[in-house]
Amino acid sequence: MKRLKSALRQGVWPWLCAGSVALSLLMLGALLALLLTRGLGHFWPATLDEVTLANGDIVAGEAVRELPLPDQAGNERLYFIGNRDIDDVRWRWVALDSIAQRTQPATLLRLERRTWGDFIGYLEAVDVNGQRITGQDAWQQVKQALRLPTLQRAQYQLTLRTPQGQTLRQSLATVLSAEAPNAMSVGQKVQTWGNGIWQFLSQGPRAANTQGGVWPAIFGTMLMVILMSVMVTPFGVLAAIYLNEIAHQGPLTRLVRIGVHNLAGVPSIVYGVFGLGVFVYGIGGSLDEWFFDEALPSPTFGTGGLLWASLTLALLTLPVVIVATEEGLARIPEAQREGAVALGATRLEMITRVVLPMTMPAMLTGVILAVARAAGEVAPLMLVGVAKLAPQMPLDGEFPYLHLERKFMHLGYHLFDTAFHGEDVQAAIPLVYATALLLVLLVLVLNLTAILLRHHLRRQRGSEC
């Protein structure tokens, strides 16, 4: 009680600050929980239902969600039924009152195919080398054959049957994976779940980004952030040193400092327009005329690419690095500078050997903020180099190995494109959550790396900056 009265006498501001921090942490935790459950839950082998309706129709698929019926009593359930090559419909709403029977057959399969999406139904037989295999042996043969290379699978022909009784012939070479989730144990589901996550992280996208993985987007995002950091750090640090250590502190310097602070608030799309006009069309077009005239009119550097995207984001994050570094320089006591000069150090030696090492934590703080902003930016990248699908990676084994002129994929743009430009938005929703979770974790890993490095430098230097 005494502590409570003492706290109340101090005012409500500490309580408001503590409440704001708690609310922020709660919102962050809720966001991460949503991304974790929706994103990682997508890879869990869901149980497949086969329901018989009152009118005799049969619907088989994965139950996605339930909603109240509009202007009626009761609910309706959304099923993912696949088989787009047969009915040209992959989703179906079913009123719960219309369900006469609901079962979960152990033999109900789900096949992921290269074209036409998933197939949900039954395996009738497997034909291989003139031999026809049926029953449980056919399913075991399929599981073994899926471990073979794609060319060897071509000799396996599957006879499939939909829940409505339609028959379909399918080459095993076009099947990416096959599972019977209703017959799987918990351990088998965990293994399948882990394999799904690994494929999502290591493979490229398919089916207009609604299937497959995001490895090219992960690689492109990390490479662009690394190049941006390498470009922005020296320029930001040199600009901060000039403003704080060299330039005369007069009206002109204050005006420049105000301009730097204002640049941090400019919308990112403006930087994208600047990068398109100056870097892509201006500098890139000139490089094409000087060095790649034989390839014209097809541009080499006169179009969006990794180099121009990295430079544009370096320009966007430059004010952040300048401000953070200058604040670190301002916190260094003047006695440190005067002591170095009194011991015979030149102005350059004093800056490089005394001031800069003590400012390193502040510099890394600026880089951390720059990385956090650059990794999530999408608007400027749409103008200066990001692509929906980049078949060639910017880094490969072909000389000169790092191809700065190539377009690249980015997690942020992949998230935007999958959510709003896909042919099946409903199917893309789980991938949107998974990609968003991956982007948050990538930014977190990059930031933690810089934070740990900053902490190491602080302990090593014993600096309070």
Give per-residue pLDDT as tens, 277-313: 999 999 988 888 888 888 788 888 888 889 999 999 9
Q: Who contacts 331 (Cβ-Cβ below 8 Å, separation ≥6)?
A: 362, 464, 465
Superfamily for 215-461? Answer: MetI-like (1.10.3720.10)
Residue 5 pLDDT level (bands cut at 50, 70, 90): low
In which region does residue 449 sit, left (phi positive, over 0), alpha (psi from -120 to 50) or beta (all else)? alpha
Question: How sure is the predictor about 465, in pLDDT bands with cuts at 50, 70 and 90?
Answer: very low
Nearest partner of 124 among 116, 113, 132, 112, judged by Cα: 132
Q: How confident is the model at residue 358 (pLDDT cuts 50, 70, 90)?
A: confident
Is the pLDDT score of 364 beyond 70? Answer: yes
Q: Measured between alpha carbons, how far is 261 from 51 in angstroms, rounded to an integer?
A: 62
Residue 30 scores a pLDDT above 70? yes
pTM: 0.85
Mean pLDDT across 38-55: 90
What was the pLDDT predicted at 463? 45
pLDDT band at 464 (very low <50, low <70, confident <90, very high): very low
Average pLDDT, the chain: 86
DSSP string, 13-32: HHHHHHHHHHHHHHHHHHHH
116-163 per-position pLDDT tens digit: 888 999 999 999 888 898 888 888 888 888 888 888 888 899 999 999
* 410 close to 374: Cβ distance less than 8 angstroms: no
